[in-house]
Chains A and B, each alone.
Chain A
Amino acid sequence: MLGVLRSKVAFRANHAWGLEQGLRAIASRAFSSSTKETMTVRDALNSALDEEMSADPKVFVMGEEVGEYQGAYKITKGLLDKYGPERVLDTPITEAGFAGIGVGSAYYGLKPVVEFMTFNFSMQAIDHIINSAAKSNYMSAGQISVPIVFRGPNGAAAGVGAQHSQCYAAWFSAIPGLKVLTPYSSEDARGLLKAAIRDPDPVVFLENELLYGESFPVSAEVLDSSFCLPIGKAKIEREGKDVTITAFSKMVGYALQAADILAKDGISAEVINLRSIRPLDRAAINASVRKTNRLVTVEEGFPQHGVGAEICASVLEDSFEYLDAAVERISGADVPMPYAANLERMAVPQVEDIVRAAKRTCYRSAALAATA
């Protein structure tokens, strides 16, 4: 199961406890002091699921192809063999059905992790997510809590067309009663998924298919089975002083690339990895904007009523006097996602778009749209 992890582990000199934790968490590993451990997002999610299922017998996984097929994207690989069919359930093709079953089992004390093959299919179950999972604790006056996690890939992949590419962050984040998380790196994936599973409230966990295969460095602390990230706290991925760029999920990587390009032009960008869309870390965003006085929001989803709109409103309400320029919102195009590769590229934000927008907030002239 955890054999998917590489056999070398890095230790920080000042984490003496790391040795013990490392031994406890992963049985068979050789230790090397020089190489930094890296981990793919896929493995990060898999290991997080594995550890949480091991720690709490009430946690179980459910979804299409999660068992015998090892997961449509192999996130649940090895879990069926380790935990058996009672805790890794292959379901018939009915999102409404298994979301309902998940909610019902959560009502009565289990902790389901429900996988949607993509969140596009969650729309077939959205009544259960919103009207049952999100609102039950409130409507039942605290009698029915729903410790459920809905997870799966969200947003655009590559060449999958309109019905497989929508981003649902804005929709779910509008709902009181839900928590919405958007991991970027492997550290995010591990820490946030563990936090989500342990949380007594219903959590929508939006992953990204294209990030599954990406590797990120992970410290021993991250690899520890007790590692957990707080929900509702953003991370400053890169500090800067000229412009704040907020992003989540795959766009964090794009924002970081844009920051590199901007640095060459003498613009120091601060990149915020939101990690949590609901609750949104307004404090961190506003603190950053008060420092840089400029803001660019980046998201893949549709522009109207998007995450960027909410961030703009928050900054206008709390930090209006600090803004030196209008806020720039970057989002996906206001069209259903086309299939052809050239059209698809035009429908999602690119690094250049972020660079241009950041420059505009810094009063550097830059064309609005990509015409090249």
Chain B
Amino acid sequence: MGSWLARSRNIQYLLKRNICFFDKTHSLLHANSSYKTLPPYETPHGFCASVLSFRRSESTMAGKQAQADDDDGNQSIEFPGGRVGFTTEMDFISEVTDKRVPCYRLLDDDGFLISGTTFEQPDRETAARMYESMLSLQIMDTIFYEAQRQGRLSFYLTSTGEEAINIATAAALSPDDIILPQYREPGILLWRGFSMEEFASQCFGTKDGRGKGRQMPVHYGSNSHNFFTVSSPIATQLPQAAGVAYSLKMDGKEACAVAFTGDGGTSEGDFHAGMNFAAVMEAPVLFICRNNGWAISTPISQQFRSDGVVVKGQAYGIRSIRVDGNDALAVYSAIRAAREMVVREQKPVLVEALTYRVGHHSTSDDSTKYRSVSEIEQWRSTGNPMTRFRNWVLANGWWTDEHETELRGTIRKQVLKAIQVAEKTHKPPLEDLFSDVYDKTPSNLQEQEKSLRETINKYKQDFPADVPL
């Protein structure tokens, strides 16, 4: 029954679009929407479909029970919540599975396509743009981080090691999809056209940024790019995403809400609330968990004892997939498919992207204090998302080393210039201290502003000269 298209590496490159056929010939993409007939508990190829099923040496008995309930009313019982088969065998669901949920990947560690795979790949232009954006993100991170070390910025955090998640996700989504970030997803803004100047303006808190100097660095936000302002408390964006999605659903828009969190964020109560609620409300939210192994200094083993985050999806009745987050192609393919499901079926989907946080948590952190330098360096080199994707676009003939060298130089100059300009730009004017607390500035704040200006005028020497009034 499986029409498995086995393709060699060569032929694959000649095809514009490959449709992925699964064991039961369900295709996920537009042409035949037969994925709709996929029962919720069945998962596409390669997945361990029975993660939570009864697993014992006498598993046949359990299997029979599960099927028997439809045939014979005596084999199942009715409770609030539905009909459930019963068994006289006391069988605890094990807390560990002998096989972890496998991880969807397309490129091997060196960036070569694993043979036999079929998938939706980005076209030449998109792929080149993806790699270029990953470069920009990497260079931006390096230079801004350095600027903080030099004392020119108060704070910064990088996405080093997670460039593929950032860019491939952005490329796979529609610009109409609303992003509710955690804080390690600036690549999405980058892809959507946020300029280096705008990044710098926010980080330096200048008058030019659309942030009006209100927030710490990296707390970007832009309505016009459908990217909600980064909010520091962890995981609060998860139930909020369900709310945004609900709003989209009521509007009947062909778009979804996309909410990000890290592995640490899944411990928050809001993760539970957001997932549960989205499932119950059938809200079109795409939950993306960047499982990068570390929540500041807390490793995965101290964060949860489940098989990562993907298994939690089923617990909430949410379809889920685990993907190699350092494989830009796999991320692109999986997010394309997941987004399609979310929008078409109007229900949430969870994507767990496995990756590694190569950088420190932020400039306030020195991760060598709790993990070995060799571990960090190993991830920086082997399986590096940028190297892998680079090798793929190179092999396709869509990229050259010369182009890269030239591009690196250009981007570097651009970022440096943006920083230099932002450093010298004035900070926001005094009125931005008092505006936006409410829709209309209330009388007490107007009075305070007036009083403050009078004080400044009277005691000019006590106030900085370079802050505009």
Q: Which of B229, B233, B438 contacts A140 (CB 8 A)?
A: B229
User: What is the chain B residue whose CB lies nearest that of A110?
Assistant: B247
Is residue B150 contacting chain A, with contact meaning CB distance below 8 A? no
Q: Which of B236, B432, B439 contacts A200 (CB 8 A)?
A: B439
| Residue-wise interface mask of B (265-304) relative to A, using a CB-CB cutoff of 8 A (1 in contact, 0 not) | 0000110111011001100000000000000000000000
Residues on A with C-beta less than 8 A from B247 are: 104-105, 108-110
Q: Which of A86-94, A222-230, A360-368 contacts B (4 or more CB under 8 A)?
A: A86-94
Is residue B214 contacting chain A, with contact meaning CB distance below 8 A? yes
Q: Which of A109, A128, A137, A199 contacts B236 (CB 8 A)?
A: A128
Whether the Cβ atoms of B437 and A138 lie closer than 8 Å is yes
25 A–B pairs (Cβ distance < 8 Å), ordered by A = A86-B250, A92-B280, A97-B239, A100-B274, A101-B239, A101-B240, A101-B277, A104-B237, A104-B239, A104-B245, A104-B257, A108-B244, A108-B247, A110-B243, A132-B236, A137-B439, A139-B229, A139-B231, A141-B210, A141-B211, A142-B435, A143-B221, A144-B229, A145-B439, A279-B443
Is residue B223 contacting chain A, with contact meaning CB distance below 8 A? yes
Residues on B with C-beta less than 8 A from A101 are: 239-240, 242-243, 246, 274, 277, 281
Whether the Cβ atoms of A138 and B276 lie closer than 8 Å is no
Is residue B241 contacting chain A, with contact meaning CB distance below 8 A? yes
15 further A-B contacts with Cβ under 8 Å, apart from A105-B244, A110-B250, are A94-B239, A94-B272, A94-B273, A96-B270, A97-B242, A97-B277, A100-B240, A104-B239, A105-B247, A107-B228, A128-B240, A137-B436, A141-B214, A177-B437, A200-B439
Is residue B444 contacting chain A, with contact meaning CB distance below 8 A? yes
Whether the Cβ atoms of A100 and B214 lie closer than 8 Å is no
The distance from the CB of A70 to the nearest CB of chain B, in whole angstroms, is: 20
Complex: A132 Cα to B243 Cα, angstroms: 13
A residues near B (Cβ < 8 Å) are: 86, 89, 91-92, 94, 96-110, 112, 127-128, 131-132, 136-145, 176-177, 179, 199-201, 232, 279
User: What is the chain B residue whose CB lies nearest that of A280?
Assistant: B444
Residues on A with C-beta less than 8 A from B273 are: 94, 96-98, 100
The distance from the CB of A172 to the nearest CB of chain B, in whole angstroms, is: 14
Complex: A102 Cα to B219 Cα, angstroms: 22
Residues on A with C-beta less than 8 A from B173 are: none
Residues on A with C-beta less than 8 A from B237 are: 104
Whether the Cβ atoms of A143 and B210 lie closer than 8 Å is yes
Complex: A112 Cα to B219 Cα, angstroms: 26
Is residue B429 contacting chain A, with contact meaning CB distance below 8 A? no
| Chain B residues bordering chain A, tally (CB within 8 A) | 50
Is residue B409 contacting chain A, with contact meaning CB distance below 8 A? no
The distance from the CB of B59 to the nearest CB of chain A, in whole angstroms, is: 33
User: What is the chain A residue whose CB lies nearest that of B213?
Assistant: A141
Whether the Cβ atoms of A98 and B239 lie closer than 8 Å is yes
Complex: A143 Cα to B232 Cα, angstroms: 17
Is residue B354 contacting chain A, with contact meaning CB distance below 8 A? no
Is residue B442 contacting chain A, with contact meaning CB distance below 8 A? yes
The distance from the CB of B363 to the nearest CB of chain A, in whole angstroms, is: 20
Given A108-B247, A108-B248, do A132 and B240 touch, yes or no (CB 8 Å)?
yes
Q: Which of A106, A110, A137 contacts B438 (CB 8 A)?
A: A137
Residues on A with C-beta less than 8 A from B444 are: 279
Whether the Cβ atoms of B277 and A98 lie closer than 8 Å is yes
Residues on B with C-beta less than 8 A from A199 are: 439
Residues on B with C-beta less than 8 A from A86 are: 250
